[in-house]
Amino acid sequence: MKIFNKVFLSALLFPTVSLAGVQVYGILDTAILGQKVKGETATMDFTSGYSMGNRFGFKGQEELGGGYSVGFVLEQGFNVDTGTQFNTWSKNGVVQSGAFNRQSFLSLSGPFGKIAFGRFGALTCGTGDFNIARISAFGIGYQVGSYTSYTIDYSRVNNGIVYVSPSLNGLKISAAYSNGVTTDEAKWSENSHYYGIGALYTNKTVDASIIFESNDNKGSVGVKPIYTITAGGSCNFGVTKLFAGYQYSSQKDKRQQHVFLLSSATPLAGGVLKFGGKYLTGKLDGKSVVKDKEDKYNSWNLNAAYEYPLSKRTMVYGFAGYADGGKLLSSSESIAASGLGFKAIRVNGWQAAIGLNHKF
């Protein structure tokens, strides 16, 4: 009985539970959010996963000897305000909501590096074990502040394999491939495939990467391949950490665009002040929409956030962001008509939020 009580007490006291080498972890994030799209009514609501996506997961590793080990990650996304699943994906037009939809992979590590198989984030996903994008202090949090509000987001891929090389004086090479971004049940030529290769360099002050990615969209009728180059990084100057980034993307019969990003993270009064902006400019490729035959678009954006730790695992935060769209992004109607997939609030509106984040 005494042994049982000790085990039970340990489970209550320690934030991360480890059972036979398996680690349980997660994030709970919620906020009160006010927002407005140009020409529409302002709203205020309770939102989930605003600064970071809510998740819980299991991970573990077994040493095999000789420098080799086997590991796994199983990670599920959810909405804390409703308890429903998040980070779902579609297969043949049907939403899939199975467990562990953020990450689900098995890996082998050794002197050769690391290789993993399963579902994981693309190299510029902004989250997950294999993300190497280093282009913004805001990462993919805060919606309007998120760098994926302007850049092409490959998000997560199924049926994937990824390789990460050993570090060579701070330099690592990553290469990823998906045999079917949503499904690989059809023959190879009918699956949509993801390809990514990138280099990440890290030392005491610099953290920078360059990444090439593509989705051939073979599984989508009439949709052409998309290609992107993403580059950027951060430099820690002590008084502040400065981030800069750039992405070029091209997709025949849809778009060619450039995104420029600049941001900073500065220690202030026990917390961190983040400030930054983005600029998007692009042109439709091979098509136009009904708006005086307009085929160009642009948007600029400014964001500020302050994160204050209440403990090692809990922080409160505030955020304010504004985006102003031009030409095809000047109104909700033209944004929808463009077919570019931008969300109106992220390219032509404002948001303000205050929230609480807890890690376990």
pLDDT at 19: 53
Q: How far apart are CA 102 and CA 52, in angstroms?
A: 13
Q: How far apart are CA 158 and CA 117, in angstroms?
A: 9
| Strand-strand pairing, 55-65 and 85-86 | unpaired
* 31: nearest Cα among 307, 265, 285, 274: 307
Domain range enclosing 37 = 18-359
DSSP for 9-58?
HHHHH-SSEEETTEEEEEEEEEEEEEEEETTS--EEEEEESSSS--EEEE
Which pLDDT tens digit goes with each residue over 53-81?
999 999 999 999 999 999 999 999 999 98
Structural domains in the chain (count): 1
Q: How far apart are CA 10 and CA 23, in angstroms?
A: 14
CA 219: distance to chain centroid?
A: 23
Q: Identify the burial level of 236 via C-beta atoms within 10 angstroms of its C-beta, where 0-12 means exposed, 13-18 middle and 19 or more buried.
A: middle
pLDDT at 84: 85
Q: How far apart are CA 134 and CA 338, in angstroms?
A: 29
In a domain, 8, yes or no: no
pLDDT tens by residue, the chain, 360 residues: 443 344 333 333 444 444 558 999 999 999 999 999 998 999 999 999 999 999 999 999 999 999 999 999 999 999 998 888 887 666 666 666 678 999 999 999 999 999 999 999 999 999 999 999 999 999 999 999 999 999 998 999 999 999 999 999 999 999 999 999 999 988 999 999 999 999 999 999 999 999 999 999 998 988 999 999 999 999 999 999 999 999 999 999 999 999 999 999 999 999 999 999 999 999 999 876 656 678 999 999 999 999 999 999 999 999 999 999 999 999 999 999 898 999 999 999 999 999 999 999
In a domain, 1, yes or no: no
In a domain, 4, yes or no: no
Q: What is the DSSP letter of 168?
A: B
In a domain, 10, yes or no: no
pLDDT at 6: 40
Read off the pTM.
0.90
Which pLDDT tens digit goes with each residue over 111-146?
999 999 999 999 999 999 999 999 999 999 999 999
Q: Is 338 helix (H, G, I), strand (E, B) or coil?
A: helix
Q: How many CA atoms lie within 13 A of 145 on its CB side?
A: 26
In a domain, 86, yes or no: yes
In a domain, 243, yes or no: yes
pLDDT at 98: 72
Contact 272, 307 (CB under 8 A): yes
pLDDT at 192: 96
In a domain, 232, yes or no: yes
pLDDT at 288: 66
In a domain, 12, yes or no: no
- CATH number (domain holding residue 145): 2.40.160.10
| Greatest alpha-carbon span in the chain | 79
Apex 111 CA angle, 108 and 113, nearest 5: 55
